[in-house]
């Protein structure tokens, strides 16, 4: 799939956590945006020209979080960082505003392969690509799907309702929100602790299970080190790091 350059037009936006916004866009030229669930698009923001950046565009990439590919729009999630060029542009954007974008790109996609179980691990907005995968995962009833979201507090659990709905409706899909700092009593689908510390409870099998890691680089490095020590090779652990440079 060739990487394209085009404009996205903002259709709608809403807060989905105290610090995270969900935004919906369409192509400004009304053409279809062809993508694979798990891929991302890259926004190009024009900074003020100065000696430090020489006016070069700043690129920020966001996973496509759209669940329904039949609609002519795509969704992304972005966490706010004070002073961040993407945060200031997107959080203050109004309906109809247009943005220069390139994509889709990325290899954190589901593959046609003979496996019994896939574990999808994400922290913060790193859960977004798995939301886009939910409809396809629902159709693969022979594949056991474990989805783990790592956040500090319940209020930060992005798209949890969507994952819980699928876990409740499809026996082969399970979902856990791993809350590292939550002090309130845990609810169904919640566990206490860091997401990468949940692997022991899954009885992972090297050579059979496939693990996807997306989000905080520290989580990914820690999880990858633990998994390789446990016998997993790099082909079975697929990674995409999110750098907090919004």
Q: State which fold the 4-105 domain adopts.
A: Elongation Factor Tu (Ef-tu); domain 3 (2.40.30)
CATH architecture, range 117-241: 3-Layer(aba) Sandwich (3.40)
CB 121 within 8 A of CB 211: yes
d(CA 124, CA 150): 7
Contacts of 132 (CB under 8 A, 6+ apart): 37, 38, 63, 64, 65, 66, 67
Residue with tokens 């709905």: 165
The domains of the chain are located at: 4-105, 117-241
- Tokens encoding 202: 């899954």
Question: What is the per-residue pLDDT for 205?
Answer: 95
CA atoms within 13 A on the CB side of 24: 13
CB 149 within 8 A of CB 176: yes
Please give the model's pTM, rounded to 2 decimal places: 0.93
- Tokens encoding 1: 């799939």
Of 54-63, 71-80, 98-107, the range with the lowest mean pLDDT is 54-63
Span 65-102, pLDDT tens digits? 999 988 889 999 999 999 999 999 999 999 999 999 99
Task: Provide the 10 A C-beta neighbour count for residue 218.
Answer: 12
- Tokens encoding 114: 């003979």
């Amino acid at each position: 799939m060739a990487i394209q350059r085009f404009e996205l037009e903002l259709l709608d936006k809403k807060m989905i956590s105290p610090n995270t916004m969900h935004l919906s866009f369409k192509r400004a030229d009304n053409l279809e945006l062809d993508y694979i669930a798990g891929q991302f698009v890259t926004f190009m923001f024009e900074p003020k020209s100065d000696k430090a950046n020489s006016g070069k565009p700043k690129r920020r990439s966001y996973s496509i979080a759209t669940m329904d590919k039949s609609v002519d729009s795509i969704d992304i999630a972005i966490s706010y960082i004070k002073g961040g060029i993407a945060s200031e542009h997107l959080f203050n954007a109004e309906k109809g505003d247009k943005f220069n974008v390139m994509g889709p790109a990325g290899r954190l996609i589901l593959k046609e392969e003979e496996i019994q179980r896939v574990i999808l691990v994400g922290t913060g907005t790193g859960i977004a690509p798995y939301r886009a995968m939910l409809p396809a995962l629902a159709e693969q009833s022979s594949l056991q799907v474990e989805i783990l979201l790592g956040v500090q507090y319940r209020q930060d659990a992005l798209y949890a309702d969507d994952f819980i709905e699928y876990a409740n409706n499809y026996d082969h899909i399970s979902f856990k929100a791993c809350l590292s700092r939550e002090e309130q009593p845990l609810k169904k689908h919640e566990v206490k602790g860091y997401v990468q510390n949940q692997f022991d409870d899954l009885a992972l099998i090297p050579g059979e299970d496939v693990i996807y890691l997306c989000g905080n680089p520290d989580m990914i490095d820690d999880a990858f080190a633990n998994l390789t020590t446990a016998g997993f090779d790099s082909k079975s652990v697929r990674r995409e790091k999110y750098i907090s440079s919004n």
